[in-house]
Chain A
Amino acid sequence: MTRYIIRRLLQAVPLLVIITALLFILTANLGDPLAAFGGERRRLQPADRARLERQLGLDRPLIEQYAIWLVGNDWMKVDLDGDSIADSYGTRRGVLRGDFGDSFQERRPAIEVIGERIWNTLLLMVASEIIVIILALLVGTFSALHQYSFWDHLITTLSFIGYSMPIFWLALMLIYLFGVNFQRWGLPSLPTVGMYDLSVGPTVGQIALHMLLPLTALSVVSLAAYSRYVRSQMLEVIHQDYIRTAYAKGLPERTVLRGHALKNAALPLVTIVGLDMPLLLGGTVVTEAIFGWPGMGRLFYKASNAGDIPVTMGILFIIAVLVVVFQLITDIVYTYFDPRIRYE
């Protein structure tokens, strides 16, 4: 097992190098990264612009910029004053040593900017994922046990609608109904923007209240797909011989379903969840934009619009690493749940 993990990690290295190199080429051309420096009121003088480009290393060939992003430049002399003579050591330490560079927009470490936002996104994602998994297991099992009944057809139709639902449409409807109209009708309305009331501060109650709508929007869309999946898995499992055996030896239905059927039906869900988790970070761009949630998706949107290379690349890098790590965790968890599988 240890050897398997090590081999997988080693295989991931070239993969990550390819991904980041491709993304770096794209990101480096997202627009004028220096636009953020002049501020809105004054434009950069050509001399200042040249100096900034030199300091940020933007005057270098792309391949060199990528290398510096990856391994830093504190081991080589760089030319800072523009006389074509390398004079002092660089200050960048490179992503591989945890230095993501400084955000162009905010002029502080990109990792700090991302770090502030990542927890907000994770809060939303993990909460939604937990709700979705529990509900999907319940709904999917119910649907499978009552196959072709009225409720099964209703659930199937609803999950198709949920699966096809553009998340922005659902989000706008939720805001319009619970935020705007409830207020109009004098009912207790839900907050629709931000994480907490500025007058109250970030208390647990406030955040929970502000999370309700974005959480609903996110959950409905994933719930549809997951519950369909659980249903089809469950249908396959409950027709197996060992389920009949369990019934035959007189076990109560509850025990059979929970102990024998659900455990096996839920297994493939582990893979889906493991592969979806990091991608869900991306699925929140639109949700976060609509609900004004200060998360990573919104940060990415803002940073990529402004040509803020360190922040944009930082977020993409974190996601790419998370994908690889989650794939590995999924495989390992799988062997725990299903002892028949062994990796060599």
Chain B
Amino acid sequence: MGCIEAVKDSKGGNLLMSDLDNYWKRKLAHQGLSRRRVLGGAVLGGVGVGSLALVGCGDDDDDEASDATPDTGGTVAPTPSGSAVKGGTARFSSANNTWDTFDVDRSRFTPFAVVMGYTNESVVHYKSFEKGELEGGLASKWEQPDASTLNITLRDGATWHNKPPVNGRAATSEDIVAFIKRNKEGKTQDGVDDVNFYRKGEYANVASVSAPDAKTVNVKFTKPDPFFLGTLASGYAKIQAPEAVKAFEKDYANLKADLIIGTGAYSLTEFKAEGSLTFTKHDKYPQGQNLDKIQYFPLFTDNAALQAAFEQKQIDAYGPRTKQVLDELLAKYAGKITNYPAFAANPMAGTYYGGTPPWNNANLIGAIFRTIDRRQLIQQMFQGLAALAGNIPPTQAAFGITEKELITYPGYLEDRAKELAEAKQMWSAGGGPALGDITVDIPDIWEGAYSGVGALITNSMLKANLGNNFNVKLEPYSTITGKLIQQKYGNGANNIWYGWISDVTKLEPSIDLYNSYNSASPQFQQFGVKIQKVDDTTSKLLTELDLEKRKTMTKEVEIELIKAYGAGIPYNMITIGNTLVHNYYHPTENQPFVTAHQFASRAYIDPKDPTYQGRPA
């Protein structure tokens, strides 16, 4: 299964974007559906990329499931259109997704963004997330005559789906104007501010937007914005028809398939909240698509059933939970299935509040940081299928330090003996033994997915080396979030937690670095570790237009954070997920919701492939 030069990517298949959504399902299902993320982009084209979001970045966090059916992530060089075969229905299993609303401007749940990737289009989207290349979605071209103006030309032939009240009319530039205005204002039709317009902050720099003619959109900014194109390319920046928004604004929470009307490759023809979705191709999609239908089956409650369904070709893709199963399937079906590995979306890390005792003591938090044996965890929990991560994980590698440099810092040293010896010294120097019992919160689904990890971290690592009683407490994520907001991990409590943290949703970490670590940011209050250099650099990041300079700055920030033992977020690792696919199915690069459009339009099924035999009709 050697990969070709570019990383082969998992194919998309499961609507598992938000594994976190299903995290509690995980308890039962142990089904990790992970959202794999492709290795972060190298070059971001166009005028800066990224989004300036100071408030409510509108992320969904996915939690990545350790196993599973993952889908995508990784990159796969898109298949040359010559060999694509038209027709067929692709079948996948759905996760137990959660849905908040069918109004994309007010949603922040990833599964919905995935759906939008099939049904609606953004102005621009990523041609290759791995390479950071943009291409036009609803736009055929865009240009910036000066730093504060953006002109967008609408693509010919863009047509809405044939559903009332839009009824298949042609798309116009007014549609895009309405979209930008709505997100900027963040109000519902009755003029009331709605907190659910999560990405409002990203449009704050827009001074005015207008449509001089039916094919052109003119955007003017108050000041140069390095991140606006990235905003337009993001998973939630999908255009809806203004008359549909007007008609459905009050109904969106009812989650009906008729509410979703887009210009994208597929139309949502069937939807059930428990997970059955059917997408049917949209004939008037100018770029064309291959598959006739995409079908998602409701959740498989147990992983064994999912594996059985995959082996019998009832679904086209499957992510094995453990390496043993991966090896077994690869051996058993050698030559008939292909593996697409990719990095997961959610890093494994912990958090603590470092503003007051006990964790404002570098010796104490440093000792814990160093005692946790990341490499041991990688081996035990993932059988080696993970990579070390610092505060900028490998999925954003272009902006972070290399592993080579990372392993020179405490916490990541290869010399475990030295690491442990120094950690123990730090612990006593900081007065660790006097702390008494320490509670380590573990999310219940994390323990469910990796049964035994809690005991591994607390008994085998922390307690065995530092001596105190480290107790595992299983908590649902809602409790952990609540405690985070109230600064309860630390701040007088001998408490810390480890698990999946928010997923990486952008190519560039700049905005998130500011939000998490800059003392002026509201999110900072959960971590409270003020580092002057970090404050200065992250503030500069937000207005720096030169990409290379930003990369240098993010690396500097990361080094400061690692030296401060994570500065509130001690990172461990990011996992590698595998997705197995039958050879008759040809996936494309699938960066969950960011390039879902690609999956939709470029993936195909080849009935002439020998493995197609035996696939249920």
Please determine whether chains A and B interact with each other in the same assembly: no
- Residues on A lying within 8 angstroms of B by beta carbon are none
- Residues on B lying within 8 angstroms of A by beta carbon are none
